[in-house]
Amino acid sequence: MLTLLKTYFGFDNFRPLQEEIIDNILKQKDTLVLMPTGGGKSLCYQLPALKLNGLTLVISPLISLMKDQVDSLKTNGISAEFINSSLALPEIRDIEKKSLEGKIKILYLAPERLASSGFQTFLKKLNVGLIAIDEAHCISEWGHDFRPDYRNLKAIRQSFPAIPVVALTATATPKVREDIINQLELQKAKVFISSFNRPNLNYFVRPKRRTFENLVSILQKYKDQPVIIYCFSRKETENIASDLREIGFDARAYHAGLPSEKRQKVQEKFIRDKIQIIVATIAFGMGIDKPDVRLVVHYSLPKTIEGYYQETGRAGRDGLSSDCILFYSYGDTVKHNFFINQIRDHTEKSNIQKKLQQMVDYCEQKTCRRNYLLSYFGEGSLLEEKSNCQGCDVCLTPREDFDATEIAQKILSAILKTDERFGLTHIINVLKGSHNKRVLEWGHDKLSVYGISNKVSSDELKYVIDLLVGEGLLGRSADSYKTLYVASKGRIFLKQKEKLTLKKPHFEDEITTEVKKKGALDYDEVLFAKLRSLRRELADDLRVPPFMVFGDTALQQMSFYFPQSTDSFRRISGVGEGKLERFGKVFIDLISSYAKENNLEEKIIAAPRTFEKKIKPANGRSLKRRGSTYSITRELLLQKKTIEEIANLRQIAPGTVINHIEKFFNSGETLNLSHIALPPDRLEKIQEAFQKTNQWNLWPVKNLLGEEFSYDEIRLARIFLTQK
């Protein structure tokens, strides 16, 4: 599996839990996977699909994500297709035909397809090896994104009762997990729960003050990097995007009110790096598989922790350090409460109010935000209470203590003297001595506390009130008005004239703290920019997103190690055999030219770990993978073993065997390999394609020949053609 991982996906090692999940799937067992966005869920079914016999069916509700996944798999040399409402009937029929002929390894389907009895009849004719259910929480009414079409999945389970099913989701409470297992009728399913911690994400909450100016200041630090800004309303997205464009930022609005065609264009341009900034409602993101988003901003308060976690999870999916910034004002709850008050079902209303309050608690948190998120998802505290996560504003900007006794007394007194009937804004207006109409109407300008804190800013008063709520001296009513009242602890504080120490407020307008980029390479930024430009050119030619050529992680490694040979370039993370053939030469040429101009030497890239595996050749003797791995392949070829037989015996990919054969001929060896020769008609077609493209690179020939010929077959043909 490690060989397949490197050959097709370019990675040397698995991420946490991937290996265990894949092993369970290969044992033909049902599996439930809870893994956060960016944790590598897709690989958990894509890799075993290459090993298992038959077709892997993937059910996904996200049409745009299907296309991205399929494009990415094809770029890696894997035969994949999708069937959904975006295709015309002739296209669907062609894909169905290829599926029945065994020419497709992974087929993505929209769940609504399963409602058709005709389509179910087609499915029953397929040789299915694995069924993967993506976004599995959509099947549960208890989930945050229930979709009735997912109820149709029972039919596919009944059609293939003996085929293993893997259900995958990024967020699911224990209740939703149980519902997924019951609804999908998973048999003795093993549940894998990955950590919800995203160590490469940095969490910041900033006061909603001079918000647009602060946003602009932040965006200037993310020049030419992908950014998503989430807003409360459609109108807000339009206004902010327009204002950003006026001052030179390449920003576009995205919301459900836009025509479908326009939404699709905006999304596609963002994925292909033609637009830097998307300003969106929560309608944006579910179908986004863009790994290099470096900043996610919440301009308004999210409704739930689950939604916030999922939206911030769209940052840094490639594992590189990325930032999540939330502008918070308690006043934002008024907008949410307006809609909550329209709900008539008391239980539903209470549950939504509770979730909103948990989001408020997160924003007003004075201890580690990362730990709050982990605790919310039942993971417990990642760190000791007094430890520092080095990745949230609370931990990165420790605050000094100050004597809050006097200011607290004034606030509590103002609340008592106004009969505990008002919310935060009114209390601040009284303390500040405001001539607000409501203050005057109630006669609160006559109170002894009126104007008693006129030299303290409204932001500071709000900050202290939030702290007093957190300390239990104040409370807020559960209704939408959020009336402040003095709790019993606050009354004791006043009566006994206790001392109170709190943390000093922190009101800088910009995020000035530099987050230490854990494990980041000190790469050459000029070369990185040149490689990004080359990547985009190639991606435009292929009509795919740039990250499908190579991700930022790969480009950063290239800009650090300066690989200038095929062997060293192969060791870059994300460089598989297919991408090496298609893109290796142009990237190596650029790196070599840049290194020569700047007198830079190639750095050694550590080789990935290898394993000793026992292989039994025809004579039955045990043979270990020591010394030259090529000599083992040579011995098996001389025994007239086919490429597939050698791959199975050695537990390596067929492409690796073909790579060994290339090495033999390049070094001048002559071997009689007539037993693995291609049929004359297929060899002739490939030869004609090489002649038409007038070059020996594989990918132009593959593009010309299409899905009928694999990369491995074309590479094998090239070996025989060069020996003529």
Residues 244, 113 within the same domain = no
Residues 573, 492 within the same domain = no
Residues 366, 405 within the same domain = no
Residues 476, 444 within the same domain = yes
Residues 180, 249 within the same domain = no
Higher model confidence: residue 505 or residue 267? 267
Among candidate residues 172, 193, 214, the one where a domain is terminated: 193
CATH number of the domain at 294, please.
3.40.50.300
Residue 382 is part of which domain span?
Answer: 201-396
Residues 219, 361 within the same domain = yes
Where does the pLDDT of residue 512 fall: very low under 50, low under 70, confident under 90, or very high at 90 and above? very low
Q: Is residue 675 part of a domain?
A: yes
Could you read off the pLDDT of 579-600 as tens digits, one per residue? Answer: 888 899 999 999 999 999 999 8
Q: Is residue 442 part of a domain?
A: yes
Higher model confidence: residue 36 or residue 517? 36
What's the 3-state SS for 266-331? HHHHHHCCCCCEEEECCCCCCCCCCCCCCEEEECCCCCCHHHHHHHHCCCCCCCCCEEEEEEECCC
Per DSSP, the three-state class of 92 is: helix
Residues 244, 164 within the same domain = no
**Which residues, other chains included, contact 299 with Cβ-Cβ below 8 Å and sequence gap of 6+?**
211, 215, 229, 230, 231, 232, 236, 240, 279, 327
Total structural domains within the chain:
5
CA atoms of 239 and 232, how far apart (whole Å): 12
**Which residues, other chains included, contact 385 with Cβ-Cβ below 8 Å and sequence gap of 6+?**
367, 371
The whole-number average pLDDT for the span 351-367 is 86
Residues 226, 294 within the same domain = yes
Please state, as a whole number, how many other Cβ atoms lie within 10 Å of the Cβ of residue 88: 8
Among candidate residues 176, 193, 210, the one where a domain is terminated: 193
Lowest-pLDDT choice from 70-84, 378-392, 402-416, 650-664: 378-392
Q: Is residue 586 part of a domain?
A: yes
Q: Is residue 462 part of a domain?
A: yes
Listed in order, strand segments (DSSP E) in 535-674 are 614-615, 623-624
CA atoms of 607 and 13, how far apart (whole Å): 12
Q: Is residue 249 part of a domain?
A: yes
Q: Is the pLDDT of residue 38 over 60?
A: yes
CA atoms of 249 and 162, how far apart (whole Å): 54
**Structure-token match 């000029």, residue found:** 526
Between vectors from CA 665 to CA 663 and to CA 667, what angle results, nearest 5°? 70
Residues 553, 627 within the same domain = no
Q: Is the pLDDT of residue 39 over 90?
A: no
Q: Is residue 275 part of a domain?
A: yes
Where does the pLDDT of residue 494 fall: very low under 50, low under 70, confident under 90, or very high at 90 and above? very high
CA atoms of 350 and 391, how far apart (whole Å): 33
CA–CA distances in Å: residue 191 to residues 20, 30, 172, 186, 268 = 11, 9, 12, 11, 35
CATH number of the domain at 634, please.
1.10.10.1390
User: If we measure between CA atoms, which residue out of 389, 387, 390, 397 comes closest to residue 513?
Assistant: 397
Q: Is residue 355 part of a domain?
A: yes
pLDDT of residue 231: 92
Residues 153, 120 within the same domain = yes
CATH number of the domain at 484, please.
1.10.10.10
Among candidate residues 149, 165, 193, the one where a domain is terminated: 193
Q: Specify the pTM.
A: 0.67
pLDDT of residue 145: 61
Q: Is the pLDDT of residue 419 over 90?
A: yes
Identify the burial level of 358 via C-beta atoms within 10 angstroms of its C-beta, where 0-12 means exposed, 13-18 middle and 19 or more buried. middle
pLDDT of residue 343: 84
Lowest-pLDDT choice from 250-264, 385-399, 553-567: 385-399
CA atoms of 143 and 413, how far apart (whole Å): 44
pLDDT of residue 478: 67
Q: Is residue 342 part of a domain?
A: yes
Residues 437, 450 within the same domain = yes
Could you read off the pLDDT of 628-681 as tens digits, one per residue? Answer: 566 778 878 888 888 888 877 776 777 778 878 877 776 666 677 888 888 888
The whole-number average pLDDT for the span 75-79 is 88
Share of the chain residues as helix, strand and coil, in percent rounded to the nearest 5: 50, 10, 40
Identity of the residue numbered 398 = P
Residues 467, 567 within the same domain = no
